[in-house]
Amino acid sequence: MNAEEHLNSLLSLAGENELVEFKEAKKQFDFNKLGQYFSALSNEANLSNLPHAWLVFGVENKHNVVGTEYIASLARRNDLKREIAEKTTNRLTFINIHEVAHPQGRVLLFEIPAAPQGIPTAWNGHYFGRDGESLGPLNIEEIERIRTQNKAYDWSAAIVNGATLDDLDSTAIEQAKISYAKKNPKQADNLQHWDTKTFLNKAKLTINGAITRTAILLLGKPESSHWINPASTTITWILKDKDGIEKDYEHFSCPLLLSVNDIFNKVRNLKYRYMIEGTLFPEEVDQYDPYIIREALNNAIAHQDYDLGGKVTLVEFEDGRLCFSNHGSFIPGSIETVICNDAPESRYRNRFLAEAMVNLNMIDTIGSGIKKMFMIQKNRFFPLPEYTLGNARVEVNITGKVLDIAYARKLAEFPDLKLEDIILLDQIQKRKPLSDDQAKYLKSKNLIEGRKPNYFISAQLAQHSDNKAEYIRHKAFDDQHYKQLIIEYLEKFTTAQRSDFDRLILDKLPEVLDEQQKHHKVKNLIQSLKNQGLITNSGRTWQLSKPSLSS
């Protein structure tokens, strides 16, 4: 359901309730009051077991649309998300702020996430709720209802009845001790005096000596994987050529602490060279930063929904791309939420497993690794990580090469650009679509030009980056320029076929157009000249019908 459909659905309600609030907010709205409504609606969504609630600006109580001028720009809406996050529990903020151009005026839909299970949402340290349409403090009973919710189901923390230390791999346990000491140097001396049972408890792999699913997954012998059936301990590496044809594969199982290194070594991390501005010497780097490979792979392990029975996969493409995938929804909702909030997620699918992996130095502090991956790719001038979310699956694509060295390098160096801006401009580099709001925002900052869907780097950015030739390749000439070429051709050679016009014009059209769009453009130019009465055709042969445009 799009934003306009959401608005119509909300307007059709009999009235306001605990989950929907309408406000006129024609020009301004008290920021503290906005935060109170955020807290109240978030808590009520949780208590109603719904994923979100709605605050609507530009609509009066009787559901008449009156329009609003509140936070008119996309940049200001993004700023508001950050400002709200600074004063809420766990930096919770809007899922999205939707803008709808209603016939009676502009409307904003604030999509507010439900409070996480077990964690009521506070604003400035105070909990708010709703009683019908009224805003007020969340009562003690409701606070406790949220706090005592069953937030404890954690697949990874479950005890494996019958499993013993004999089901764990001794080499994996020794490696775990080395990794634990590296992550926790202050415990290195104490570690020497711990027996295996004590160490596994301290590292949060076992609970009071009992073997958990996490212990089997990370340290279990290959033949011990049956203890966690029907969950899969398998990670599959696949090598494909540039056309997507499978060339090789291998399956890996527990202990995953060791298997991760084996999988890492399967990746053909070739050297990649490119020229840094201002030097005659090439920069040589690995195609894939080792941190990114390990972080993406370990994140897939940590956040896999093992109840679904699927496996983690890593597909390596010979054209310089890695694709990691795991089963399960992406709990934060969107990558933008992770990047903009810059805070750990308050909910985890496998908290016990994730904490153990932090202790074993497999992943960074929970929630911090994604932004670091983006920054590494940005600093290398490589395309940013690309996340595909949906169908209970998370897919992460990492490109190990520069798509456009001048464009990417200068883009990263352009002053005043936030990471959020670079993420949007990265979509241009990858020829990915932008929403109307995103395009409007980039145009407001004079960073892109062109018309939907064929946007390209702006003259301002090209001028700054000494990328003027690239700009000209993307920027279309006026149609008159191409028409004049056709006229001059017919003046010189008298007649022409459509194929002659294609050879004359196709390679001069902007590179943002694909081949089909370029051929369509030539067809339109010819038809326009015919409609003007300047050229005529007999069958497939074209000639001038009047004095030329230059006469």
Write the single-letter amino acid at 260.
V
* 9 and 122, same domain (yes or no): yes
The SS3 assignment for 15 reads coil
Give the tens place of pLDDT for each residue, 350-402. 989 999 999 999 987 655 788 889 888 887 778 889 998 888 889 999 999 87
Locate 505 and state its tokens. 């014009």
Q: Which residue has the tokens 């007999």?
A: 538
* 36 and 118, same domain (yes or no): yes
Give the per-residue pLDDT at 278.
47
The SS3 assignment for 43 reads helix
- Measured CA to CA, the distance from residue 225 to residue 155 in angstroms comes to 15
* pTM of this structure: 0.57
- Measured CA to CA, the distance from residue 157 to residue 526 in angstroms comes to 69
* 102 and 8, same domain (yes or no): yes
For 450-466, letters b (16+ CB in 10 Å) and e give beeebbbbbeebbeebe
Beta-bridge partner residues of 272 = 285
* 136 and 166, same domain (yes or no): no
* 449 and 483, same domain (yes or no): no
Q: Where do the DSSP E strands lie in 504-540?
A: 535-538
- Kindly state whether residue 318 falls inside one of the protein's structural domains: no
- Measured CA to CA, the distance from residue 154 to residue 117 in angstroms comes to 13
Question: Mean pLDDT, consecutive 10-residue segments, the chain of 551 residues?
Answer: 84 83 91 96 90 92 89 89 89 90 93 88 93 86 79 81 95 96 92 94 93 97 93 95 92 96 93 60 78 94 90 94 92 73 64 93 77 85 86 91 64 64 75 79 75 64 45 52 87 90 83 77 90 90 71 41
* CATH number for position 513: 1.10.10
* 15 and 141, same domain (yes or no): yes
Q: Which residue has the tokens 């909702």?
A: 333
- Kindly state whether residue 519 falls inside one of the protein's structural domains: yes
Write the single-letter amino acid at 278.
G
- Kindly state whether residue 442 falls inside one of the protein's structural domains: yes
DSSP state of 478: P
Give the per-residue pLDDT at 34.
96
- Measured CA to CA, the distance from residue 541 to residue 535 in angstroms comes to 10
Count other C-beta atoms under 10 Å from residue 522's C-beta: 18
Structural domains counted in the chain: 4
* CATH number for position 38: 3.30.950.30
**Domain span at residue 532?**
479-544
Locate 14 and state its tokens. 């009999």
- Enclosing H/E stretch for 543: strand 541-544
Contact 369, 376 (CB under 8 A): no
Write the single-letter amino acid at 167.
D
- Measured CA to CA, the distance from residue 383 to residue 397 in angstroms comes to 10
Sign of torsion, CA 437 438 439 443? positive
- Measured CA to CA, the distance from residue 409 to residue 244 in angstroms comes to 29
To the nearest 10 degrees (0 to 180), the angle between helices 290-303 and 351-359 is: 150
Identify the domain boundary among 213, 228, 243. Answer: 228
Contact 258, 172 (CB under 8 A): yes
Give the tens place of pLDDT for each residue, 51-104. 889 999 999 877 889 999 999 888 898 899 999 998 998 789 998 899 999 999
- Measured CA to CA, the distance from residue 290 to residue 505 in angstroms comes to 46
- Kindly state whether residue 393 falls inside one of the protein's structural domains: no
Q: Which residue has the tokens 């990417």?
A: 408
Locate 473 and state its tokens. 């390749």
- Measured CA to CA, the distance from residue 532 to residue 545 in angstroms comes to 10
Give the per-residue pLDDT at 469.
43
- Kindly state whether residue 345 falls inside one of the protein's structural domains: no
* 34 and 86, same domain (yes or no): yes
Identify the domain boundary among 147, 170, 190. Answer: 147
- Enclosing H/E stretch for 480: helix 479-493
